Amino acid sequence: MVEAAPTDMVFIQQLSGELRKLFARPRTWMGYGAFLAMEALILTVYKLEASQERMRGMVERNGLEFSTYYSSLTITFMIMLLSMFLLGSIYFALVAGDIVAKENEDGNLRMVFARPISRFRLLLVKYTAVCLYTFSFVFFVGISGYAMAVAAVGWEGGLFVIEPKMKVFAAYPNWWEGAGRLALSAAGIGISMITLSSIAFMFSCFKIKPAAATIITLTILFVDMILQGFPFFKPYESYFVTWRMSAWVFLVEQYISWPKIIESFTFLAGLNVSLFTIGWLAFQTRDFKT
């Protein structure tokens, strides 16, 4: 028998193997390419005269100086906000929806099940990989977006944020303060997006096709978001997942309301644990025929 490595080392080996699988797939790199293209597009739009005028109006109406806030930090914030909403949801649902269901469809799982790893452990490794991937991808978007924005408008300037839906307005003329808040918001988006990945992951554990896991996840989130917008549901908006997922934006408020943020992130963490547990129970009770 091969001498077994310590458990924590084995977990790291399993996790690095899972991440290697993610990064070895051409589709992963196509995803990175798609995001870079999206960032370039958003940046181009922000460079247009009309967009600049619109932004100037917004900034100056609030008594602020346009030249301070038409900056790489503000543009990066918008890149993150828009690309995560437009492309991020689809991409994360696709990656997490595939992680178990695709391996089952391709027959890889039966090779894994010939090994003495428990189903819980296997799912834990895969879920950890999904969480790390989701969280780090948001930073990739932030860093690459910032690099593009610096190339386009230079590095100087502050951060200007206006988010009417969540009623958030903030302006940081100082670069360091703005950059700090931008990094904090990237971490917040990362945490929020883990919930999206968790929903797709749970469906991926069911006996369904990978594409079905992705589509069901996106459907649930879009329905949640649409219902949340109905005036009837206004008093109950905090019960909607997408509202909780948007709570990260409070991290850029001038005075951070930590109780509000902690409440929402605790809600999301509880939801994530529940989704993982349901997925595991479904996976544990399934028969996998060779």
Partner 1 sequence: MMLEAKNLSKAFGGKPALKNVGFSLGRGEIHGLLGHNGAGKSTTLGIILGMVAPDQGEVLIDGISVQEHRGKALRKVGAIFEAPAFYDYMTGWDNLKILMSYSGGFDGKSAREVVKRVGLEQRIGSKVRTYSHGMRQRLALAQALLPEPELLLLDEPTDGLDPEGIKWFRDFILELRQERGMTVLFNSHLLSEVEQMCDRVAILREGQLVFEGSVRNLADETPIYQADLETWSVAGPVVERFGGSVLQAGRIALPVSIDSAQVLEEWVKAGVRVREFSKVRRSLEDVYMEILDG
Residue closest to 35 by CA, chosen among 138, 131, 141: 141
**Residue closer to partner 1 (CB basis): 24 or 50:** 24
Per CB under 8 A, the list member of 49, 50, 63, 114 interacting with partner 1 is 114
> Measured from the CB of residue 122, what is the shortest distance to partner 1 in angstroms?
7
Total binding residues toward partner 1, as defined by CB under 8 A: 33
Beta partners for residue 169, in sequence order: 162
Does 116 bind partner 1 (CB under 8 A)? Our answer is yes
| 97 touches 217 (CB < 8 A) | yes
Per CB under 8 A, the list member of 37, 41, 48, 111 interacting with partner 1 is 111
Does 108 bind partner 1 (CB under 8 A)? Our answer is yes
Does 287 bind partner 1 (CB under 8 A)? Our answer is yes
| 251 touches 181 (CB < 8 A) | yes
Binding mask 67-106 for partner 1 (x = CB under 8 A): ---------------------------------------x
| Alpha carbon distance 187, 180 (integer Å) | 11
Does 10 bind partner 1 (CB under 8 A)? Our answer is yes
Alpha helices in 167-257 (DSSP H): 175-205, 210-229, 241-245
Alpha helices in the chain (DSSP H): 7-24, 26-47, 49-61, 66-69, 72-83, 89-98, 101-106, 108-112, 119-153, 175-205, 210-229, 241-245, 258-284
H/E stretch holding 12 reads helix 7-24
**Residue closer to partner 1 (CB basis): 10 or 271:** 10
Does 281 bind partner 1 (CB under 8 A)? Our answer is no
Per CB under 8 A, the list member of 1, 50, 63, 234 interacting with partner 1 is 1
Does 112 bind partner 1 (CB under 8 A)? Our answer is yes
Does 17 bind partner 1 (CB under 8 A)? Our answer is yes
> Measured from the CB of residue 117, what is the shortest distance to partner 1 in angstroms?
4
Burial of residue 187, with CB atoms counted within 10 A of its CB: 0-12 exposed, 13-18 middle, 19 or more buried: middle
Could you report how far apart the first and last alpha carbons of the chain are, in Å? 25
Q: Which residues bind partner 1 (CB under 8 A)?
A: 1-5, 9-10, 13-14, 17, 20-21, 24-26, 106-108, 110-118, 122, 285, 287-290
